[in-house]
Amino acid sequence: MWTRMLQGGIAFPPGTPLPGVRSKVSEACNRTLSIPVLAHKRNRGYIYRKCKNRVLNSKCAGEEKRVGTRTVFVGHRPVSETDAYIEQKFCDNRIVSSKYTVWNFLPKNLFEQFRRIANFYFLIIFLVQVIVDTPTSPITSGLPLFFVIIVTAIKQGYEDWLRHRADKEVNKSSVFIVENAKQVKKHSEKIKVGDIVEVKADETFPCDLIFLASSNDDGICYVTTASLDGESNFKTHYAVRDTIGLRTDDDIDSLTATIECEQPQSDLYKFVGRINIYRSNQEPVARSLGPESLLLKGSTLKNTKKIYGVAVYTGMETKMALNYQGKSQKRSAVEKSINAFLMVYLCILVSKATVCTTLKYVWQSNPFNDEPWYNQKTKKERDAFKILRMFTDFLSFMVLFNFIIPVSMYVTVEMQKFLGSFFIAWDKEMYDEEIQEGALVNTSDLNEELGQVEYVFTDKTGTLTENSMKFIECCIDGHKYSGGMSEVDGFSHTDGPMTYYGKALKCREELFLRALCLCHTVQIKEGDNVDGLIVNQECSTYISSSPDEIALVKGAKKYGFTFLGHENDFMKVQNQKNEIEKYQLLHVLNFDPVRRRMSVIVKTSAGKFLLFCKGADSSVFPRVQQDEIQQTKVHVERNAMDGYRTLCVAFKELTQEDYKKIDGQLSEAKMALQDREEKMARIFDDIETDMHLIGATAVEDRSWTVSQEYGLIVDGSTLSLILNPSQDSSSSNYKSIFLQICLKCAAVLCCRMAPLQKAQIVKMVKNTKGNPITLSVGDGANDVSMILEAHVGIGIKGKEGRQAARNSDYAVPRFKHLRKLLLGHGHLYYVRIAHLVQYFFYKNLCFILPQFLYQFFCGFSQQPLYDAAYLTMYNICFTSLPILAYSLLEQHINIETLTSDPRLYMKISDNAMLQWKPFLYWTFLGTFEGLVFFFGVYFLFQNSSLEDNGKVFGNWTFGTIVFTILVFTVTLKLALDTRFWTWMNHFVIWGSLAFYVFFSFFWGGIIWPFLKQQRMYFIFAHMVTSISAWLAIVLLIFISLFPEILLVVFKNAKRKNHQTVPFNLPMLLSYKPMENGYISEMKIKDAVTNLTHHHHLRVPQMQQL
């Protein structure tokens, strides 16, 4: 087949040194090196052992220097019995995706958890309580800490157990290895590099294999890679011509060959290698190997009975395993705010401890206060070093007030993010019936970041459009030919009559249509249904990874030239006279996003050598005769303005001498193991010059969007000058000027960009002043770089595979789903988690402030206000579930309203709810309520007799009344904030209050044998028998919540009186804040219209919400 020619298969004549090939050494070379050899054969791969102090990597003359390559011996057979080998070590075929083992789980997990500052802080506090005589039991800080550690460890352990189970299922699957001309059944994990593996139809490849032979006579097999990149269409792979006849176990076992290839790397679409085949009494033959020869682990064999392949990468060195290793961690703005607030509260904690320590020694400066008659000091206490005593007291106060730091907030935030991600995945409105899939959450750490996006960068093709191609028209030598031909995932149908606008010369028409029939990578699958593709009337289907290539081939068919497929090394075309023309395919110069064009070199039956090229106008026009451009350029620009994808077609005729030179250069470059792609690119660049322009095509990619209006348009070549300026001072400011212009525009359209340029644009905006939150959307592999660069990456489950979806933080079936994901889910999750964070700091301030004030009334003796059980359970049991339910279910505004009004999204932008102003408001609120709790009960206790029998209440009753008011107030505060009530909210809010009351009765109703002091015995029961205590509790709760109640009433009254003006805003357009409100239309809308489809390459569109 033609691709075997493409692989650069070249047989060297006897005596020719093999460049870079470690092979059976020729006799002449052996004589030169004088290598004595020892036979050493084992069932592994081998490398050469150079004896007599020879260097291991000594080379024959002409062998290039190689770095980072491996040599694999096919079937573990030595090249000859006279060579010496040592066993070469490769990793086994076990897949290990798990993070822990039984032995390292405990130490490794604890180490990772205590790397978190809050956990480490509470560990230190716990150790201080254990070592130093502190006022509270170590249980008060130890139990919440251990609860957080245990819950997190269980969650991570369970997730890792699932990974272990999945690994075992893969590693224990059965495979067949060919050994001594027999098939041996083994577990997948037993495969070693060099093993020859047989894979049958519909089986998954167990490791990365070099394709040797198949059941098909032509050495072809079909593969799907849906589990790797999501592409369900068939990919065609080819064996080298020298091994395609080895279709039985006996034949394949007779093969003596070595494979040299690059070391493992993660790129699914790149592979560089060569196979050296040895035959008796013949010089070895070297053939180049490329991606079309590599069968990847995880892909599936289709429509082929069986194949033989040799393992080159196994286990964790397979491309699949390398691709699933972790991405860099992204942190949300909320996490940064939490850390900032934590530092503030840590300063408050240190300040409280410092104040109390200082005032304690001021208080004790009076001898009566320092050593009252009823509490005389021991000799040890009198002799203690004063500085040491002060430091110990400081630590004791730190322990007493340490609950102001909300350690349980971290586990609550983690649970909120984890559980909240399921609501996104379960959203039925983001479920697509066509692909039977919904939204996918790859990371739950950024849910709230979806509500903070300021700039959206989006790919065009397949993202803003359907990637559903329809052939519209073409021009030949400036003459327009209009007709309809649509292409959706490989199925084609005629769509209307042809229309001609003038005519080019007949020979030029035929040349153009032959170019369309020959310059492509389309394959034909005969008489079968290919993974959902619809079979045409001739029982054959065009297969290609690019729908627009099929649309062009079918467009040529519309005008009478039909591509009939490949036959060995020839491409067959049926012309307008129904004659079959055959062209020998000599070389394919593959498309890449840098060149933005592809070419083929063919040989006609008359012996002529022709080069056909198609590509973007910006990459083709500079390489053709300049006097031929203008007549075609007019049509290209008009088609581009109409939103069509345009391609220019060119050709040139090569002489016999030209082709021999080109063939030699390509063959040499294809044999290189190092820098093969760079060498090929330079040769391609030299070949594709001095061409003649024939015409251009226009293909429509249907759009999913309604409005396509843009403010600034810039192309890739201009961006190169801007982003990579020269050294002179005048060009160094281009980037800054360009950025300023972009930020003032409503939207920016960047055309014809390379993947790296997409990432550069994202990075440029991301690093501007204020560090705005960026979001990138794309559906193809060329969008991965910008998806990873942005704060939030969204993958579209489109028709170009799932590379973008796999590398994204979130994936959705359609671009339209971005509306609800951002304006709905993003808005709500940000509001929820912002409220959660502020609420946690607020309720802990309410909790600890009375404890601080109490020290002024107990001589700074570090006497706790609350019982140890209350200290322990406040954050774990009494107040945790209501805020968790709120953070998952709250909808302060109806989700339909949120998605219809982008201005609501603007109100929470720039992390509005976690700025210092709302933080200070919550801090003031906590301070106010803490003062009310303490002094309200303090004034109540001015009358020490609160019972009819004259019995007085003690300090534990005082603390219990304060704690009861505290629990009810912070819980009812959350109830006041709740706008969307469900049965779950009712259950956790009222249930938590009921549980507190029940626990207090239970805790104080029993004499616990493990407690030294029964200080809480019957305290709560006695308290609730007092009418005064009841009145105080109700009154103080009301006073604490009164400002909040007033605020709610005021907001409701304002909302009723506010007249909202109806508006209709297009989805996800730019609404930049202006002096007179918001703009909903572009000032320059008349300059350019319908530019969403502007060019055939991917286009990131930058929009500021």
- For the chain, the average pLDDT equals 78
Mean pLDDT within 4-30 = 35
235-252 pLDDT per residue, tens: 788 888 889 889 898 999
Q: What is the pLDDT of residues 293-345, one digit of tens each?
A: 999 988 889 888 999 999 999 998 988 888 665 455 677 788 888 888 988 99
Phi, psi of 704 (to 5 degrees): -95, -10
528-540 residue pLDDT tens: 443 333 334 444 6
In this predicted structure, the answer to whether residue 707 has a pLDDT above a threshold of 50 is: no
- pLDDT at residue 10 is higher than 60: no
Question: Within 10 A of 579 (CB to CB), how many other CB atoms are there?
Answer: 8
715 is catalytic: no
* pLDDT at 1020 > cutoff 60: yes
Helix (H) or strand (E) holding 1104: strand 1101-1104
Structure tokens at 205: 């490849």
Per-residue pLDDT tens for 426-482? 988 888 887 788 888 887 788 888 998 988 888 765 556 566 678 888 999 888 887
Smallest CA-to-CA distance from 415 within 885, 900, 898, 1031 is with 885
Distance (Å, rounded) from C-alpha 938 to C-alpha 932? Answer: 10
Reported as a single tens digit per residue, the pLDDT across 943-995 is: 655 566 556 677 888 999 999 999 999 999 999 999 999 999 999 999 999 99
Q: Are 799 and 491 contacting, i.e. CB atoms less than 8 angstroms apart? A: no
- Provide, rounded to the nearest whole percent, the portion of the chain with pLDDT above 70: 78
Most confident of 234-238, 754-758, 1010-1014: 234-238
pLDDT of residue 681: 86
Output the pLDDT for position 410: 81
pLDDT of amino acid 974: 94
Q: What is the DSSP letter of 449?
A: G
Three-state helix/strand/coil letters over 53-95: CCCCCCCCCCCCCCCCEEEEEHHHCCCCCCCCEEEECCCCCCC
The structure tokens 């026009």 sit at 621
pLDDT at 729: 54
pLDDT at 730: 58
Residue 908 Rama label (left phi>0; alpha psi -120 to 50; beta): alpha
Top pLDDT among 236 and 1089 is at 236
Q: Residue 731: what pLDDT?
A: 57
Q: Which of 136-145, 701-710, 838-847 has the weakest average pLDDT?
A: 701-710
186-195, 202-211, 683-692, 759-768: range with lowest mean pLDDT: 759-768
Report the pLDDT value the prediction gives residue 84, as an integer from 0 to 100: 57
Predicted TM-score of the model (pTM):
0.66
Mean pLDDT of 651-669: 90
**Residue 53 binned pLDDT confidence (cut-offs 50, 70, 90):** very low
Does residue 44 have a pLDDT over 70? Answer: no
> What is the three-class DSSP state of 569?
coil
Tell me the per-residue pLDDT of 867-912, one tens digit each, with 9 for 90 and over: 888 888 898 889 989 999 999 999 988 888 998 888 888 888 888 8
Residue 945 confidence (pLDDT): 57
For residues 259 and 74, the answer to whether their CB atoms sit within 8 Å is: yes
- What's residue 464's pLDDT? 61
The enclosing H or E element of 409 equals helix 407-425
pLDDT > 50? residue 35:
no
pLDDT digit string, tens, across residues 85-109: 566 788 899 988 788 888 889 999 8
Task: Given the residues 195, 459, 531, 548, select the one marked as catalytic.
Answer: 459
- The DSSP 8-state label assigned to residue 673 in this structure reads S
964-977 tens-digit pLDDT: 999 999 999 999 99
Q: What is the mean pLDDT of residues 198-211?
A: 92
Q: Write the pLDDT tens digit of every residue in 499-523.
A: 445 677 889 999 999 999 999 888 7
Treating both helix axes as pointing N-terminal to C-terminal, what angle do 916-940 and 1027-1057 enclose, rounded to 10 degrees? 150
Residue 1068 has pLDDT above 50, yes or no: no
pLDDT of residue 412: 87
Q: Are 617 and 696 in contact (CB under 8 A)?
A: yes
Q: Phi-psi region for residue 914, left (φ > 0), alpha (ψ -120 to 50) or beta?
A: alpha
Across-strand partners of 187? 174
Could you tell me which residue, 403 or 194, shows the higher pLDDT? 194
